[in-house]
Amino acid sequence: MQQILNFLIRHKTFLVFLLLLSLSLFLTIQSHSYQKSKFINSANIITGGVYGITNNISVYIDLKSENEILLEENTRLKSVLYNTNQENLTDLYRHATDANQRYKITPAKVIKNSYSSTNNYLLINKGQRDSIAQDFGVISSKGIIGIIDNTSNKYARIMSVLNTNIRVNAKLKKTDHFGSLRWNTESPEFVQLIDIPIQAPVKIGDTIVTGGRSTIFPKNIPIGKVDSFKIDDTENSYEVNIKLFNDMTNIGHVYVIKNLDANEISTLNNLDE
């Protein structure tokens, strides 16, 4: 017993070092797996507060370009609205205020963005008190941004599409061939779509949209366009390189999408298993 105690006291520095190192390795490994990174994330009062304050200052620099983006979106929506028939217009309004609507949209502001590491996250200034929870989709006016993966009372963390853990169901816009969206960490401008069946008529310049097979994103939200594609190692599917519509290095305002039917759909799916 005496010897064990002596050993512990003699090597206490090394033991503390080992303990702390294994603790940090444990946290690292946890952060590599989706939905397990619960402890260490920036959606808390201290870091969220600091980012909130700095964002309040830096937001003035981007005001002009943000305004242009909003104006562009407004123009597009207006042109859709005025080019529909008048009879359909009332229909459209009715849908927007329908009690049976399927999606609830919340606007939010990005207060921290990253795109240079292998697992990138964004932080927004809306959280649980704005009824935002895990697994809500996040889009901007140009296309998808990511999925909410952690929330605190006032802030929420988004797993960006530039994250090796992300999996988004996506498809070709003109046909219904779908695949899975990944990121190979090489460039913040491109993401990869894998498992597109070889029968699909993929062409350079084709638009890729979300597939709507998961409960996270609605159908037909734009993602990007095909930049290049090749047949993968299994030789029965394509690997498509997609140029994102969004400039992930410059994101201001985003919309959080809540699928109001998500619970119902997932209970149904669970019944199946």
- Return residues touching another protein (CB under 8 A): 12-14, 16-17, 20-21, 23-32, 37, 40-42, 44, 46-47, 50, 54, 114-119, 121, 157, 185, 188, 249
- CB nearer another protein, residue 55 or residue 237: 55
Phi (first) and psi of residue 75, to 5 degrees: -60, -45
CA angle 215, 117, 151 (to 5 degrees): 40
Query: Residue 87 class from Cβ within 10 Å (0-12 exposed, 13-18 middle, 19+ buried)?
Result: exposed
Q: How far is the CB of 61 from another protein (least distance, A)?
A: 12
CB of 30 to another protein, least distance (A): 7
Nearest approach, Cβ of residue 79 and another protein (Å): 36
Q: Which is nearer to another protein, 30 or 263 (CB)?
A: 30
In terms of CB distance, is 134 or 269 closer to another protein?
134
Closest distance of CB 183 from another protein, Å = 13
Residue 46 Cβ, how far from another protein at the closest point, in Å?
8
185 versus 207: smaller Cβ distance to another protein:
185
**Of residues 155, 150, 156, 159, the one with CA closest to residue 118:** 159
Q: Which is nearer to another protein, 206 or 239 (CB)?
A: 239
Cβ distance to another protein smaller for residue 48 or 222 = 48
In the complex, what is the shortest distance from the CB of residue 239 to another protein, in angstroms, rounded to a whole number?
17
Any idea how long the chain is?
Answer: 273
Cβ contact 178:213 at 8 Å: yes
Cβ nearer to another protein, comparing 123 with 170 = 123
In the complex, what is the shortest distance from the CB of residue 227 to another protein, in angstroms, rounded to a whole number? 18
